[in-house]
Structure 1
Amino acid sequence: MKPILFAALAWLCIAGAGVVPAGAVHASTIRAEVAAPVYTMGVVPQFEQRKLFDIWHPIIQALQPALDFRLELVGSPKIPVFEKKFLAGEYDFAYMNPYHLLKANESQGYIPLVQDGSRHLKGILVVHKDSPYARVEQLDGKMIAFPSPNALGASLLMRADLESLFKLTYFPRYVQTHSSVYLNVALGQTAAGGGVYSTLKQQPPEVRERLRVIYKTRSMSPHPLSAHPRVPAEHREALRQAWLKLATTDAGRRLMARIPMYQPVVAQLEDYAEMRAWGLDRFYILE
């Protein structure tokens, strides 16, 4: 047998026995990288979609180099759509309000990862700065705007307070987003509106300067970034650690302040347990 032919046959035998040439190993590595898991990230739509993506896309891009998986931001046009999706377990990761977390944990087992440790969440009731209303009782029989029935501080807890504590009779107008609430009040379309301080601060000056806060609800731990339990524990922890590490940089702090999440810390389900005794289920509406 000629030497060249013999060498060729020998190479085929070695390859058949499972010895892979160096070039093939490199190609396999590339394929493995391409096949990295892709996880969806849902975000409660406190703002209109364009602004929401403008806030969250840069954060995801900044996190990506530290992760062995990819994150895909998934939007929802309004809060009820977001609720149906997390109750069905459609999101792998989700940024949601505290009461949403309790519902998501009950239905799907979602696990909180991080939250803002610098503040607590309160609902606020705003009126036009020139309106005659200074007390909640004066709004009896008036129209009040809310983002949606289940927006926690702005609507769910606010409505619980108005009805349980103040025995107020009012006409709710659900306008989908916090920004729409503030605009309705600023333009005089409703007598008052429910919101939270963080979203009020992010309104354009020409809207914000027309509003006045007349009531604040009790406080609670702020929105957590959470994970569905189907996401492997090592990937949940990897995102948590990447998030906390990004928050130690100036660039990361600037990005997260837009959420807002000013001082990310580890979140636990126990942080939200007290809300179970607040009787909010009576005011929760699944649309």
Structure 2
Amino acid sequence: MTICRWNWPIISNQEDLIHSSPRPCNTRPSTLIFNLIISRHFRLFTILWRDFAFVTPTTLPRPHWKRLTTVISVISTLIGAPSSIAYAGHHTGQSGKPYSFAAIPQFEQRRLFRIWRPILDELERQTGLSFEFIGTAKIPAFEQSFMDGKFDFAYMNPLHVIKARQSQGYIPLVRDGSRQLKGIVVVRRDSPIQSIEELQGARIDFPSPNALGASILPRADFARRKVSFVPRYVQTHSSVYLHVARGISLAGCGVLSTLQAQKASIRSQLRIIHTTRGLTPHPFSVHPRVPEAHRRKVKQALQKMASTPQGQRLLDAIPMKELVEAKLSDYHAIKDWKLESYYIKQ
């Protein structure tokens, strides 16, 4: 029997969804809904349902908004259908649901989805397991969720690894071996400021209190040099750079990889005046409730991805340029440098 999979154009990301229109299909509506659930677009619609702040009636033409909200409403009534329908043929977690994965929200959700969903798809293909991308719009929400053990797998910063280990027993699997995590302080390119000592008493933007490279490492350096300042937490690295570029803030903190990921029109307006000490970068970590056999499968699949040009291109987007095994001992500098004292409980 030929299955009609809700004849939407091929959708690679949320922006494409906003501008796409369905093609005519003669299949019965009940079959369309069923096939939508078992299709790959099911994940995209669940992401929209859970975190649709980027789609509002003001950003969509009225006909598109009506169509989108109708489809999501229908799906929401069926969300309780057995997960085996949506993930037929895949192994799942102990609860029968797909394994949950979340990444620290350094970027806005659409960008994170574009980075991680292809990687999770490749992991599914290689391991036979299922993965659901869980979006968290703000870093504090991400922190609270992994502290509560809500994620089976997570991409987190080195301080998060220590906290997650203490609270839930998370285990680092792999990391980038080609670089170190360093914080940067940026000002507008035309600013006369040349050093962080000149920021005495200034308002400085940070993504969140506990972003390691973009907040804790710079704040530790400010303290070492006895520079007082007024912090403002603006949720994402992108917001930091945008505020400084537009002159809203005198200076802001981030990390080099997220600065390089900004549009050229933003990067060209910024200048780095300080770089912090370096730490071992973010690991891909796993909760100990995931069976050892599944942890091993995921680790081996990531290593295999890194061994092929196509797989490495996916990992480069994280960025993870040279994938190596991660160990808890890689992150001892967190304690040696007393960085936990800069952690702000929220």
TM-score (norm 2): 0.72
Gaps of 5+ in 2: 1-84
| Larger RCO (CA under 8 A, 6+ residues apart) | 1
Q: Residue 130 of structure 2 aligns with which residue?
A: 70
Q: Residue 215 of structure 1 aligns with which residue?
A: 274
Letter in 1 for 2:300: Q
Letter in 2 for 1:141: G
Q: Residue 296 of structure 2 aligns with which residue?
A: 237
Number of residue pairs matched by the alignment:
257
Determine which of 122, 142, 146 is the counterpart of 2:182: 122
Letter in 2 for 1:255: L
Q: Residue 118 of structure 2 aligns with which residue?
A: 58
Q: Residue 226 of structure 1 aligns with which residue?
A: 285
Give, in whole Å, the separation in 2 of the partners of 1:239 and 1:206: 38
Q: Residue 141 of structure 2 aligns with which residue?
A: 81
Letter in 1 for 2:213: G
Q: CA deviation at 1:35?
A: 5.9
Determine which of 251, 263, 268 is the counterpart of 1:204: 263
Provide Cα deviations, 1:96-132, integer angstroms capped at 9, x if missing partner. 0011000000111100000001111100011110001
Q: CA deviation at 1:89?
A: 0.6
Letter in 1 for 2:160: H
Give, in whole Å, the separation in 1 of the partners of 2:88 and 2:115: 31
Q: Residue 273 of structure 1 aligns with which residue?
A: 332
Give, in whole Å, the separation in 2 of the partners of 1:142 and 1:185: 13
Give, in whole Å, the separation in 2 of the partners of 1:125 and 1:97: 18
Q: CA deviation at 1:228?
A: 0.4
Q: CA deviation at 1:32?
A: 8.8
Tell me which stretches of 4 or more aligned residues in structure 1 moved more than 2 Å.
30-37
Gaps of 5+ in 1: 1-29
Greater gyration radius: 1
Give, in whole Å, the separation in 2 of the partners of 1:98 and 1:128: 29
Give, in whole Å, the separation in 2 of the partners of 1:116 and 1:41: 18
Q: For the aligned residues, what is the CA RMSD?
A: 1.5
- Equivalences for residues 122-201 of structure 1 within 5 A: 122-163=182-223, 165-201=224-260
Give, in whole Å, the separation in 2 of the partners of 1:32 and 1:79: 33
Q: CA deviation at 1:157?
A: 1.4
Give, in whole Å, the separation in 2 of the partners of 1:282 and 1:202: 30
Q: Is the 8 A contact 1:80 1:286 kept in 2?
A: no
Q: CA deviation at 1:34?
A: 5.6
Label 1:34 to 1:182 Cα distance change in 2 as closer, same or farther (>3 A).
closer
Percent sequence identity over aligned pairs: 53
Label 1:34 to 1:126 Cα distance change in 2 as closer, same or farther (>3 A).
closer
Q: CA deviation at 1:253?
A: 1.1
Letter in 1 for 2:105: P
* Partner SS for 2:184: strand
Provide Cα deviations, 1:178-226, integer angstroms capped at 9, x if missing partner. 0000001101111111110100000000000111011111101000000
Letter in 1 for 2:104: V
Determine which of 240, 257, 266 is the counterpart of 2:316: 257
**Match status 1:105 vs 2:181:** no
Q: CA deviation at 1:250?
A: 1.1
Q: Is the 8 A contact 2:102 2:153 kept in 1?
A: yes
